[in-house]
Amino acid sequence: MTANPIFCAIDTPDLGVATRLAAQIAEHVGGLKLGLEFFCANGPEGIRQIARASGKDIFLDLKLHDIPNTVAAALQSVIPLKPRYLTLHAIGGLAMMKAAREIAYESADKVSAAPPKLIAVTVLTSFDDADLAQIGVNSATADQAHRLAALAAEAGMDGLVCSAHEAKRLKAEFGHMLRIVPGIRPAAGDTHDQKRVMTPAEALAEGADILVIGRPITKAADPYDAARRIAADIGIRAGAAS
Ligand code: C5P
């Protein structure tokens, strides 16, 4: 059975809402992305509850960035949750990313789990060249993103968060790294605040490995049906795992 590349971003602090949604759409998504909004409100127990309710892989989008020792310690605490993917900021540097990789393997081994795929965030899409200049980075966002992607590759990160528009170039250059792509919109859907969107099929054709899709599913009148349609559009059968 073809794997389901859809990870639904469940962006809410409300555990009840998230749990119902997770169970409702589980059949048509490969996994669920839970980020700071959910984690700060509900902590590790909230993650466990969503994993139990859905039976799906968890993408823990914590975008960690601190000194190597602190990031490693944070990872040690979340590895027992057995996330399939976990994000950290490449701007944290080579030593931080390497420390994360080392502890991920060590801690996963202790709980007899596969280590999470470590996914590096390069330049946030909320940043433009002027924002970078303001924090003392005098490069264009594309150059800075490229520099950080190369650093992430050197540190042994498993993947990169990128826009569908960058996926092809990144695949050519860092082919061994996964491309995790947000900003996905079904052909007929509302684009919300995302500016540079692609449909699921287009993003996959560009080289996306994981499609992060939030509001087109979570804010739909019928989230189950929205997830079903998106999966069907890219030829995924109900019940496929990620
Ligand atoms: O609702 P929507 O499909 O726009 O959700 C996209 C998800 O991906 C959100 O959780 C958002 O924080 C995240 N994301 C993004 N753009 C990035 C990185 C992450 O939209 N560059």
Cα 199 from chain centroid (whole Å): 17
pLDDT in tens, 57-112: 999 999 999 999 999 999 999 999 999 999 999 999 999 999 999 999 999 999 89
User: In this structure, what is the dihedral angle of CA atoms 208, 178, 39, 132, given to the nearest 10 degrees?
Assistant: -80
pLDDT in tens, 31-72: 999 999 999 999 999 999 999 999 999 999 999 999 999 999
- For the chain, domains (ranges, CATH) are 6-233 (3.20.20.70)
pLDDT confidence bin for 194, thresholds 50/70/90: confident
If DSSP codes are grouped into helix, strand and coil, which group holds residue 154? helix
Name the one residue in this structure whose structure tokens are 């330049």.
Answer: 123
63 is a catalytic site residue: yes
- The closest alpha carbon to 137, from 121, 153, 119, 122, belongs to 122
Nearest atom, ligand 1, residue 184 CA: 3
Find the 153 Cα to ligand 1 centroid distance in Å. Answer: 22
CB contact set of 225 (below 8 Å; sequence gap of 6+): none
CB contact set of 156 (below 8 Å; sequence gap of 6+): 97, 98, 101, 118
Phi and psi, residue 167, nearest 5°: -60, -40
Nearest atom, ligand 1, residue 163 CA: 21
Q: What secondary structure letter does DSSP report for 73? A: H
Residue 132 confidence (pLDDT): 94
Which one from 33, 56, 63, 168 is the annotated catalytic residue?
63
Sign (positive or negative) of CA dihedral 27, 32, 38, 44:
positive
| Cβ–Cβ under 8 Å, residues 95 and 67 | no
The best mutation among 212, 213, 219 to test binding of ligand 1, ranked by most ligand atoms within 8 Å of the C-beta, falls on: 212
